[in-house]
Amino acid sequence: MKYSKILATGGYLPEKVLRNADLEKMVATSAEWIWERTGIEERHIAAPQETTCDLAEQAARQALQAAAVEPAAIDLIIVATTTPDYIFPSVASQLQERLGSYGCAAFDVQAVCTGFVYALSIADQFIRTGATRRALVVGAETFSRIINWQDRSTCILFGDGAGAVVVEAADEPGILSSRLHADGRHRELLWVPAGVSTGYDTTRQNAAYVAMSGSEVFKFAVNTLSRIAREILEASRMTIADIDWLVPHQANERILVATARKLHLPLERVINTVSTHANTSAASVPLALDVAVRDGRIQRGDTVLLEAFGGGFTWGAVLLNY
Ligand code: UT7
């Protein structure tokens, strides 16, 4: 078995919906401004007791059920998250316990919004080498917990959620190729300047909150997302015409539109969930994939390009036959 193949997808969004009109009451913004500048109308926010692992579990169970795979048959669990329940153990370890897939390898991946693309690429490498036969790959976030709800430049952008896929060894692709990158020089354009070893300065208002230089990140995102798409297509001797669906990271509708324009890809072939999910970081790509699989747009055999860009900076892409 030379390849890995996605058997099924799952997704979960917390019950509470925060609309743009609700944000008008919290910060100096307007529903129109948010909609016009980002394409976001609403986002889901985890309940106070609801954790990243809770969201991950719901999405994972849905994916396992859709794949008709028992948790005990999973031999690798990777969770991409920036907002784990604890410093340790990993969300993946917690999830393993909840699902009852005892004994298999389980770890978290931290690549912020690119986390799921990183995690899926890692799972693919494990499967290609024969180390793993069946993997559960999850992107899950409670990003609302690292948002300063008084900062209008960031709080309007993010939401909570989880997406999951079950990946299995296969004779045919499956995942055709993946490309991962990072450039740590730009870390201060998008980061949370607090942590375990630098410390949490509780006297500062922004101590453990997302800080972002929005317009710089925007430009980087558009250029990088179009470049990574070209890079992976060229490496696979394919062109944009071969792509049935682009599933990009969902940060801002204007980023999606500008990327599609640069790639000369019709918007009808871009999966866009930004209006109802907002930016769910590592969960955004698997959630968007799940939506498009469930509503029947993405069909078996379709060629799909997943791509993401996020803090670090990190970016990457996975090209696959669904
Ligand atoms: O996951 C990957 C990381 N994230 C992203 O990719 C996000 C990238 N950036 C963006 O999506 C956009 O840059 C934003 C949506 C954050 C901002 O949009 P923009 O068109 O780049 O606006 P801007 O930052 O240039 O700000 C324009 C104006 C500013 O006012 P002045 O200085 O021109 O008077 C801001 O203060 O809009 C103001 N502004 C707001 N006004 C109303 C910023 N946030 C808000 C707000 N409501 N929520």
Of the residues 82, 190, 218, which should be mutated to test ligand 1's pocket, given the most ligand atoms within 8 Å of the CB? 218
- 153 alpha carbon to ligand 1 midpoint, in Å? 6
Predicted local distance difference test score (pLDDT) of residue 200 = 84
Q: How far apart are CA 9 and CA 110, in angstroms?
A: 21
Is 279 annotated as catalytic?
yes
Query: Span 176-321: which CATH code?
Result: 3.40.47.10
From residue 43, give the alpha-carbon distance in Å to each of 39, 160, 275, 279, 290.
11, 7, 8, 8, 17
pLDDT for 58 equals 98
Q: Is 113 a catalytic residue?
A: yes
- Percent share of the chain, pLDDT over 90: 95
| Close Cβ partners of 25 (under 8 Å, ≥ 6 residues apart) | none
Domains of the chain, residue spans? 3-172, 176-321
Domains 3-172 and 176-321 share a fold: yes
Instruction: State how far the Cα of 177 lies from the Cα of 226, in Å rounded to an integer.
Output: 17
Helices 284-294 and 52-67: crossing angle, nearest 10°?
Answer: 30
Q: Does domain 3-172 have CATH number 3.40.47.10?
A: yes
User: Rounded to the nearest whole angstrom, what is the distance from the C-alpha of residue 167 to the centroid of ligand 1?
Assistant: 37
Distance from Cα 141 to the centre of ligand 1, integer Å: 22
The answer to whether 272 is a known catalytic residue is: no
More confident position, 80 or 203: 80
Cα Rg, the chain, nearest whole Å: 18
For range 239-247, the mean pLDDT: 98
pLDDT score for 199 = 87
Average model confidence (pLDDT) for the chain?
Answer: 96
**pLDDT for res 190:** 97
Question: Which pLDDT tens digit goes with each residue over 162-211?
Answer: 999 999 999 999 999 999 999 999 999 999 999 989 888 766 655 799 99
Which protein residue's CA is at the shortest distance from atom 47 of ligand 1? 29
Q: How much is the pTM?
A: 0.97
Catalytic residue from among 155, 249, 272, 277:
249
> Of 113, 272, 277, 321, which is the active-site residue?
113
Q: Which residues contact 224 (CB under 8 A, 6 or more apart)?
A: 309, 313, 315
